[in-house]
Amino acid sequence: MSSMSAKHLGERIRSVLLLQPDAVAVEAGHTATTWKDLSRAAEEIESLLVRHGVDHNAPIGWVARNRPAAVASFVSLLIGGRMVVPLRPRQASATFAAELAAQQLCAVLADDDDWSEEGVVAAAAEAGTLGIVVSGSSPVRVSVHPQLSAVGAGPHRDPMPGYILERLTSGTTGAPKRIPVREDVLIPSLQSAEQRGKGETEGELRVKRSPAILLKPFSHAGGLFGLLLALYQARPMVLLEKFVPDEWARAVERYQIKSASLVPAMIQMILEAGIEPLLLKSLKAVRAGTAPLDAQVQLDFEQRYNVPILVDYGAAEFIGGVAGWTLEDHRRYASNKRRSVGRARSDVLLQVAAPDAPETALPAGQIGVLSVRCDRFGPDWIRTNDLASIDEDGFLFLHGRADDAINRGGFKILPEEVAAVLRRYPGVRDAAVIGKADRRLGEVPVAAIEMTPGAVAPTVDELIAFARQALTAYMIPTEFRIVEALPRTASMKVSRPDLKALLGV
Instruction: List pLDDT tens digits, range 254-306.
Output: 999 999 999 888 999 999 999 999 999 999 999 998 777 888 899 999 999 99
Rounded Cα gap, residues 312 and 295, in angstroms? 14
- Supply the pLDDT for residue 354: 87
The reported pLDDT for the residue numbered 127 is 95
Q: Which fold has domain 405-503?
A: GMP Synthetase; Chain A, domain 3 (3.30.300)
- Judge whether 332 and 394 are in contact, CB under 8 Å: no
* Average model confidence (pLDDT) across the chain: 89
φ, ψ (nearest 5 deg) of residue 440: -90, -45
The per-residue pLDDT for 50 is 97
C-alpha separations of 278 from 72, 254, 283 in Å: 35, 12, 10
Is residue 376 over pLDDT 80?
A: no
Give the pLDDT confidence score for residue 8 in this predicted structure. Answer: 85
Listed residue (208, 216, 215) closest to 256, CA to CA = 208
Domain with CATH 3.30.300.30 in the chain: 405-503
Q: Which of 130-139, 177-186, 402-411, 483-492 has the highest mean pLDDT?
A: 130-139
Whether residue 155 has a cis bond before it, omega within 30° of 0:
yes
**d(Cα 40, Cα 491) in Å, to the nearest integer?**
31
* 238: Cβ contacts below 8 Å, ≥ 6 apart: 26, 27, 28, 211, 212, 213, 214, 251, 255
DSSP run (H or E) holding 134: strand 130-136
> Is residue 69 within 8 Å of 112, Cβ to Cβ?
no
Provide the whole-model pTM. Answer: 0.80
pLDDT band at residue 347 using 50, 70 and 90 as cut-offs? confident
User: Among residues of the chain, what percentage have pLDDT more than 90?
Assistant: 61
Question: What are the tens digits of pLDDT across the range 379-391?
Answer: 888 888 888 999 9
Class of the CATH domain delimited by 2-186: alpha beta
List every span in the chain annotated with CATH 3.40.50.12780: 2-186
Does residue 191 surpass a pLDDT of 70?
A: yes
For 424-442, what is each residue's pLDDT tens digit?
999 999 999 999 988 888 8
- Whether pLDDT at 170 is above 80: no
Please indicate whether residue 301 or residue 91 has the higher confidence score (pLDDT): 301
